[in-house]
Amino acid sequence: MLMLKGIPDVLSPELLKVLCEMGHGDIIVIADGNFPAESIGRNSIVIRCDGHGVPELLDAILKLFPLDTYVEHPVNLMEVVPSDPVETPIWNTYYDIIAKYDDRGAKTVGNIERFAFYEKAKNAYAIVATGEKALYANIMLQKGVVIN
């Protein structure tokens, strides 16, 4: 438990440190339980949050984390493989969470083909490995600037 006011309990000291260290344009991936976080994140900081789901972490992170306003899609989802008969209702939850913190709402969100998502994730500043069970629940956030 963090002994600070206003910090969501789901954010560990390690994750808070990473969010503080990240600069404008840096990327963080919040990965579902199937994402190969350790192998993709060999050159990144991998933070284990196995007991948590992506939506609760996304909500907590976006309370503190500005999305980049200089790119069209500062949020990216892993595109469903066309032959994969998977539904992604969790994405609607993401849109609702994003809209709470960014006036652009769903317009901030793009999709990246699965293997291109993995390639881009290899250059992420950090990958947060969660216990999320929903499929295609991976989300990539690009940090913006803090404007007072």
Q: CA 78 to CA 34: how far, in whole Å?
A: 12
- 26 part of the active site: no
Q: CA 19 to CA 17: how far, in whole Å?
A: 6
Residue by residue, pLDDT tens for the chain (148 residues) are 567 888 999 999 999 999 999 999 999 999 999 999 999 999 999 999 999 999 999 999 999 999 999 999 999 999 999 999 999 999 999 999 999 999 999 999 999 999 999 999 999 999 999 999 999 999 999 999 988 7
- 95 part of the active site: no
pLDDT of residue 148: 72
Catalytic position from the list 68, 94, 102, 136: 68
- 50 part of the active site: no
The answer to whether residues 103 and 67 touch, using CB atoms and an 8 Å cutoff, is no
In whole angstroms, how far apart are CA 93 and each of 23, 86, 89, 133?
26, 16, 7, 14
Catalytic position from the list 26, 73, 101, 118: 118
The answer to whether residues 33 and 27 touch, using CB atoms and an 8 Å cutoff, is no
Catalytic position from the list 24, 70, 84, 96: 24
Pick the CATH number of 13-142 from 3.90.550.10, 3.30.300.90, 3.40.1650.10, 3.40.50.720: 3.40.1650.10
What pTM value is reported for the model?
0.96
Domain residue ranges of the chain, discontinuous segments joined by +: 13-142
